[in-house]
Amino acid sequence: MNIHNLKFKIPDGKRFVYALVVAFAFVLLTFNFSWAATVAKHYTELEFAPLPEVKLPKYERYVLNNGMVVYLMEDRELPLVKGTALIRTGDRLEPADKVGLAQLTGTVMRTGGTAKHTADELNQILEQRAASVETSINEVVGTASFDSLSEDVETVVGLFAEVLQEPVFAEDKLELAKTQERGRISRRNDSPDEIAQREFKKLIYGEDSPYGRTTEYATLNSISREDLVKFKGQYFYPNNMILGIVGDFEPKKMKALIQAKFGEWKPNPNSTKLQLPKVTQAKSSGVFVVNQPQLTQSNILIGHLGGQFNSPDYPALDVLNGVLNGFGGRLFNEVRSRQGLAYSVYGAWSPRYDFPGIFIAGGQTRSDATVQFVKALQAEIKRLQTQPVTPKELAFAKESTLNSFVFNFEDPAQTLLRLMRYEYYGYPSDFLFRYQKAVAATTAADVQRVAKQYLKPENLVTLVVGNQTAIKPPLTQLATQVTPIDVTIPGSTQPQAKN
């Protein structure tokens, strides 16, 4: 049989598919792969269009007759309403012998119920509506917030107003909060990282400074219900707070609701600007160690007192952060990648709004690399002062900072809170946009100038939390005197690691 005489009949329905397969095979055979290789680019060569200009959503700011500042921002995307109040207070204002008072006040204000509703009743009403009301006080601000469905906003705002104006600070809830805090005190040496962060703040600010002190069993035991009532009365009044509400609401109705729930709240006629604690660096330099024999690695922090966001040099310092920190930064490239000294490494100029922050660098390394790791950090800090950043480093740092700018406006609630925070600390409402322009204008000379002006290698404080016996070479290679820090918890019945 002559196979050339055979005829294969392809069904009509499959002819089109067959033709496509043949055509595709022809394309593959004739495709110039060398051309494709020349077109493909490394990710560092990719070019992107400029980011779109970020604009603030529309909002309204007004002041009630009793002095309470109100921000309203509509967001009709979901049937939800969120509110946040910022109260000018903080645990930095509590008495030294009652450390923990502010935190307890913020906790029990919510958990202790109100004059109209017990804590259980509050919880039940809110749970039935998938809503929440929360309060807290941290180092620099008191915060109260609510989340609600649009249809329940009148009820939830009413409960929110009750918690702010009429908390009863139930004694049993205070005791429960104290018990929980005692548990946290007893566990505070369980984490080497927590030990390092806590003790480093004491070295920089001072253990008696409001920015360095810690809650102890003794200070907790000295706090009574009357102390909570008094602390609340000192700071929680309408002309000492800012309220912001964002979400699905009709502005006219929301204004009427706010007036109804907060308009009769009496202001404090004797309100004065808060007197903030003064800040100086407690330890001018030195090497300190917390001996933890059970550890196989060292947690290391080095640094000194820093500055505030309102410094005219903050944008350049933030670009310096980009040069020093993160993937592609000098610390990562040199200390982690090239020298292989760190599991993690970081460094940053970390300012605060109304008191000096900290310049801090650190990370974790194996015990026998501790001294080498510290010396490597010190060398990179000095190199910032002596070696100008390259055009590539500058571009990377600026682009990283500017490209992340849009994340400050991810949602209206976040944007509104930022506006409130700026007013709380006395910053201009367009502070973030001024910062953006200043970052874009930062030069390599600016980065080296601020590195020389603000980084103080001679004032670096070094703290090591690790197994002192396993640290070879010893820490005395860093300083002739190494000061031990005892982290035994005062009044504790639990044995603590000692130096």
Q: What proportion of the chain, given as a percentage, has pLDDT over 90?
A: 80
CA–CA separation, 59 and 57 (whole Å): 6
CA–CA separation, 200 and 358 (whole Å): 10
Identify the residue whose tokens are 């509509």. Answer: 74
pLDDT over 60 (residue 24): no
pLDDT in tens, 33-78: 444 444 556 545 656 566 667 778 999 999 999 999 999 999 999 9
pLDDT of residue 66: 97
Length in residues, the chain:
499
Q: How far apart are the first and last CA of the chain?
A: 99
CA–CA separation, 341 and 335 (whole Å): 6
pLDDT of residue 248: 97
Question: Among 2-11, 84-93, 302-311, 321-330, where is mean pLDDT lowest?
Answer: 2-11
pLDDT over 70 (residue 307): yes
- 158 bridge partner residues: none
3-class SS shares of the chain: helix, strand, coil, % to 5: 50, 15, 35
pLDDT of residue 40: 58
Contact between 91 and 138 under an 8 Å Cβ cutoff? The reply is yes
Give the H or E element holding residue 174: helix 171-186
- 420 bridge partner residues: none
Tokens of 423: 């007013």
Mean pLDDT, to the nearest integer, of 106-125? 97
pLDDT of residue 45: 67
Mean pLDDT, to the nearest integer, of 417-433? 96
Tokens of 111: 């958990």
pLDDT in tens, 238-293: 999 999 999 999 999 999 999 999 999 999 998 888 889 999 999 999 999 999 99
pLDDT over 80 (residue 349): yes
pLDDT over 50 (residue 338): yes
- 365 bridge partner residues: 298
- Among 497, 492, 27, which residue's Cα sits nearest to residue 220? 492
Quote the pTM value.
Answer: 0.86
Question: Among 16-30, 160-174, 249-263, 443-457, where is mean pLDDT lowest?
Answer: 16-30
pLDDT of residue 46: 59
pLDDT over 90 (residue 105): yes
Mean pLDDT, to the nearest integer, of 475-493? 93
User: Given the DSSP bridges, would you call strands 80-87 and 358-366 parallel, antiparallel or unpaired?
Assistant: unpaired
Distance from chain centroid for Cα 97: 28
Mean pLDDT, to the nearest integer, of 165-169? 98
Tokens of 212: 């360095």
pLDDT of residue 404: 85
pLDDT of residue 153: 98
Neighbours of 444 (CB within 10 A): 17
- Among 323, 144, 105, which residue's Cα sits nearest to residue 242? 144
pLDDT over 80 (residue 13): no
φ, ψ of residue 198 to 5 degrees: the values are: -65, -50
For the chain, list the domains and their CATH numbers.
60-262 (3.30.830.10), 286-484 (3.30.830.10)
pLDDT in tens, 380-405: 999 999 999 999 999 999 998 898 88
Contact between 398 and 440 under an 8 Å Cβ cutoff? The reply is yes
